Every structure is written in C-alpha cells, then in structure tokens.
C-alpha cells in the first residue's frame, strides 16, 4: 500500500501523475518540458522527494497492431534511468490510446494542452493499478 508516480514519457514533454495503491486512483500532477532534449531531472527529483513513491510507472508506447511504437526504446531508456537514479522499482505498462482518451477528458474546446500529458500519465497509472487488482 502506498504512493506511486506515473510518467507519460515524450522527448519534448513528460506528463506526471500521482496515484494510491489503496484507492486504485490517480491524479494528474504536472507536465515537465525537456531541457536540451533531456528529462528535467531536477524537477523529477523534487517530485520524488515530495511524494516519496514506493514505485514508478512508465507508459510503454504501442501501435494498434501490437508492435512497440518507434519511441518505445526511448521510454525504456527513461525507465532504466529512473531506476538507476532513484533506486525505486520501475514498472512499464501499455499506454496505447491514453493520449486520445486524455484529449476526450480534456474536452475539444480546451486550450491548455499542457495538461494532456499529465492526464495521460494519470491514465497510465490507473491502467497499471487496475491490472494489479
């Protein structure tokens, strides 16, 4: 039982959400922009310090034909970097369709697409939690 952080990895932005194993729910936290095409490790460290998660969940991108998406190796690398830096368990889960569902949750008229990646991270985390229950 505890807190988890979920990540929707992208080369330009990373959405982050927080979730609870007790409730099986998650909440979007923030979207961090990459710094010189690298994750903003300073801000990620601050979030890990603040939330003290027991594990980290990273979305693994798949295409609709069940093949890993082109960005999947980069998401796997990001997951390995998280594990190496923070010495926390890192799990990956299928993130297929999370961005489309996040767009629906955000609504067609919404202008703040910065929230999109954080909502996708919430969906990634909730997918992982629901698969464990």
19-42 per-position pLDDT tens digit? 999 999 999 999 999 998 899 999
pLDDT: which is higher, 99 or 75: 75
CATH placement of domain 3-132: 3.30.420.140
The share of the chain scoring above pLDDT 90, in percent, equals 66
Q: What is the 3-state secondary structure (H, E, C) of 7-69?
A: EECCCCEEEEEEEECCCCEEEEEEEEECECCECCHHHHHHHHHHHCCCEEEEEECECCCCCEC
| This prediction's pTM | 0.88
% helix, strand, coil for the chain, step of 5: 40, 30, 30
Q: Which whole number is the average pLDDT over 75-95?
A: 96
């Amino acid at each position: 039982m505890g807190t988890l952080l979920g990540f929707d990895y992208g080369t330009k932005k990373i959405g982050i959400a927080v979730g609870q194993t007790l409730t099986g729910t998650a909440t979007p936290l923030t979207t961090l922009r990459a710094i010189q095409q690298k994750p903003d490790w300073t801000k990620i460290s601050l979030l890990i310090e603040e939330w003290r998660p027991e594990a980290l969940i990273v979305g693994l991108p798949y295409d609709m034909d069940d093949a890993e998406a082109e960005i999947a190796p980069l998401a796997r690398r990001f997951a390995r970097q998280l594990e190496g830096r923070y010495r926390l368990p890192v799990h990956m889960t299928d993130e297929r369709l999370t961005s489309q569902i996040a767009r629906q949750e955000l609504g067609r008229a919404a202008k703040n697409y910065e929230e999109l990646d954080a909502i996708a991270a919430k969906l990634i985390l909730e997918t992982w939690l629901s698969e464990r229950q």
